[in-house]
């Protein structure tokens, strides 16, 4: 139940972005392990987001200046800025 609530909060941006902030932009779809995922970003470029998601899903390593986590199967990669300059920037992949 807590994971579901956390996943919903992450998808809506409630944990990271303030209410007045613009929503994340959709970068496109990727396929990994026979599943299709939608990649969205708020701050980093789409190239950075797609490469970061693919790298995390394949090798479980976060891109430079970001920390990534997995939230169940619905959100296999959620990355947020790890240094002060990038604290409000994030990107993620969700089933779609």
pTM score, two decimals?
Answer: 0.75
- Rounded distance, CA 17 to CA 64, Å? 21
Indicate the domain borders of the chain: 2-95
**What is the rounded average pLDDT of the residues 82-90?**
94
CA distances from 51 to 4, 18, 30, 41, 82 (A): 26, 26, 10, 12, 17
Between 51 and 17, the more confident residue is 51
Coil, strand or helix: which one is 76?
strand
pLDDT digits (tens, 9 = 90+) for 39-73: 999 999 999 999 999 999 999 999 999 999 999 88
Contact 74, 7 (CB under 8 A): yes
Continuous H helices in 1-96: 2-12, 46-59
pLDDT for 8 equals 53
- Rounded distance, CA 96 to CA 91, Å? 15
**What is the rounded average pLDDT of the residues 24-29?**
96
How would residue 9 be classed by pLDDT, with cut points 50, 70 and 90?
low
The percentage of residues in the chain with a pLDDT greater than 90, rounded to a whole number, is 73
């Amino acid at each position: 139940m807590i994971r579901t609530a956390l996943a919903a909060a992450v998808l809506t941006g409630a944990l990271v972005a303030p209410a007045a902030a613009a929503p994340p932009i959709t970068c496109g779809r990727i396929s990994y392990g026979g599943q299709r995922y939608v990649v969205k970003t708020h701050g980093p470029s789409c190239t950075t987001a797609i490469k970061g998601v693919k790298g995390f899903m394949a090798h479980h390593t976060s891109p430079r200046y970001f920390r990534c986590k997995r939230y169940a199967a619905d959100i296999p990669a959620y990355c947020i800025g790890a240094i002060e300059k990038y604290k409000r920037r994030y990107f993620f992949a969700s089933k779609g």
